[in-house]
A and B are shown apart, each in its own frame.
Chain A
Amino acid sequence: MAEEGKPTEPGSQPDTSPNQRTQDQARAANPSSLTADAEKDAQVEAAKARVTAVKEAAQAAPGAPKAPVKKKEEGPKPVDASSHPLVEKLRQKFDAAVIEASEFLGQLSIRIEPSSVVKVCDALKRDPETPFNYLSDLTCAHYPDHREAPFEVIYNLYSIPANERVRLKVWANGEGVESVTGVWPAADWPEREVYDLFGVAFHNHPDLRRILLPPDWEGHPLRKDYPLEFVENRWTEEHLPEFTDVQKEQLDQRRAYGLEILSASPEREVRELFKSGKEVMPKDK
């Protein structure tokens, strides 16, 4: 009575249930079933080994907690490219204009004097071997620690016939640099963008004015000293109209249907939130 219902432990007395007895009898009668069991056991052992191997591999996988990582080795660094044919060619034509040339991961960068940027660009465009006829991009970077000329204007040039690229870099201070719209008319809008977002002036530009921000916007947002803070400034106060009662009702209706993201003007909505003194985005406490 006391032993009934207890599970049979391995190594204990064999199971003498009718089923087990019939199985034993069948094995005795048919020796091939014994080999089949041995095969099954071998398969189970192999499966267990595979599971163990997979677990070990998972521990070594990226998702698993890792051992302390050693400090990374330093990556590739720019190397001097003074011996590059294009640099040598430019040095022959404009010796003092080319300040330095470097190559990083196969990308050639040439730093040139700001005063001769138009001459160098014109020569590159008219070069018979590699005519850089396409101004791929014109952008800027702000280095506040580079005090004498904190802005670096960058010209990414591409030669469609020769399938070559070169990057020209020019330091610019508050006075600005010469416009290259005379060389590549496509420089018009990128130069306006740089002027808008960095405040770098381009002399002799045909239409130098802000392109993204409103004309009476104060400051240049991509400068390092411009805080990226979501605030209502003087411009939004002056220019964004207040909601009428009808518009407020419409907004409430749209909110009820969950359509405010699609239909409400975000600037107006933000202005409303600021005016009502609500917290725009609840901080994660």
Chain B
Amino acid sequence: MSPKEIAAHYEAKVFDSPAAAESAGFALTETLAPRNVWNKASAAQSLALKLRDKKEKGEAKEIGLVIEPWSVTGCYVPNETAGRDHFKV
């Protein structure tokens, strides 16, 4: 599977750049910069699985992947932001 397909499988949002993810309220996690497309898919899978665990533990409300040409970065919306949004009117 390609990184985008992996993101779709794990219901993760896809961003083109870290700035786009941050502006959408996502916090960035680790960045992996593999050297070829197969390792890029592996990196995306590894990040997506870690983020999925985070979501299941309740630490993340939403998860995403920043897929750039030479790197993949994990990102998630921390669960505490849900409370903050509640007070924003």
Using a CB–CB cutoff of 8 Å, the interface residues on chain A facing chain B are 144, 224-230, 280-281, 283
Identify the stretch in B16-24, B41-49, B59-67, B77-85 within 8 Å (CB) of chain A at 4 or more residues.
Answer: B41-49
Query: In this complex, which of B32, B39, B46 has the most chain A Cβ atoms within 10 angstroms of its Cβ?
Result: B46
Quote the shortest CB–CB distance from A89 to chain B (angstroms): 39
Nearest chain A CB to B82's CB is how many angstroms away? 25
Question: Which of A228, A280, A283 meets B38, CB within 8 Å?
Answer: A228
Q: How large is the interface on B (under 10, 10 to 19, 20 to 34, 35 or more residues)?
A: 10 to 19
CB < 8 Å neighbour of B34 from A224, A225, A226, A230 = A230
Please state if A281 and B43 are interface contacts (CB–CB under 8 Å): no
Q: Is the CB of A228 within 8 A of B34?
A: yes
Q: In whole angstroms, what is the CA distance A226 to B38 when docked?
A: 13
Known: A224-B45, A224-B49, A228-B43. 6 other contacts (CB 8 A): A224-B46, A227-B39, A227-B42, A227-B43, A283-B35, A283-B70
CB-CB < 8 A to B46: which residues of A?
224-227
A225 touches B50 (CB 8 A): yes
A230–B33 alpha-carbon span in the complex (Å):
9
A-B CB contacts (within 8 Å), total count: 36
Report the Cα distance A56→B39, complex, angstroms. 42
On chain A, the residues within 8 Å of B33 by CB distance are 229
In the complex the two chains form, what is the Cα distance from A280 to B33 in whole Å? Answer: 12
Contact A229 B43 (CB under 8 A): yes
**Residues of B with C-beta under 8 A to A229:** 32-34, 39, 42-43
A-binding residues in B (CB < 8 A): 32-35, 38-39, 42-43, 45-47, 49-50, 70
Cα of A283 to Cα of B50 in the assembled complex, Å: 27
A227 contacts B34, C-beta separation under 8 Å: yes
Chain B residues with Cβ under 8 A from A283's Cβ?
35, 70
Is the pair A228, B70 in contact by a Cβ cutoff of 8 Å? Answer: no
Q: Could you say which residues of chain A place their CB within 8 Å of the CB of B47? A: 227
- A144: chain B residues at CB < 8 Å are 49
A residues near B34, Cβ cutoff 8 Å: 227-230
A228/B39 in contact, CB under 8 A: yes
User: Which of A224, A225, A230 meets B39, CB within 8 Å?
Assistant: A230
29 contacting pairs across A/B (C-beta < 8 A): A144-B49, A224-B45, A224-B46, A225-B45, A225-B46, A225-B49, A225-B50, A226-B46, A227-B32, A227-B34, A227-B39, A227-B42, A227-B43, A227-B45, A228-B34, A228-B38, A228-B39, A228-B42, A228-B43, A229-B32, A229-B33, A229-B34, A229-B39, A229-B42, A229-B43, A230-B34, A230-B39, A281-B35, A283-B35
A227 and B39 CA atoms in complex are apart in Å by 7
Q: Using Cβ atoms and an 8 Å threshold, which residues of chain A touch B39?
A: 227-230
Q: B40 CB to closest chain A CB, in angstroms?
A: 9
Smallest CB–CB gap between B77 and chain A, Å? 21
Q: How far is the CA of A281 from the CA of B70 in the complex (A)?
A: 12
CA–CA, A224 and B46, complex, Å:
6
Top 4 closest pairs, chain A to chain B, by CB: A227-B46, A228-B42, A225-B49, A228-B39
In the assembled complex, the CB of A94 is this many whole angstroms from the nearest CB of chain B, namely 35
Shortest distance from the beta carbon of A270 to any chain B beta carbon, whole Å: 12
Q: What is the distance, in angstroms, from B14's C-beta to the closest C-beta of chain A?
A: 18
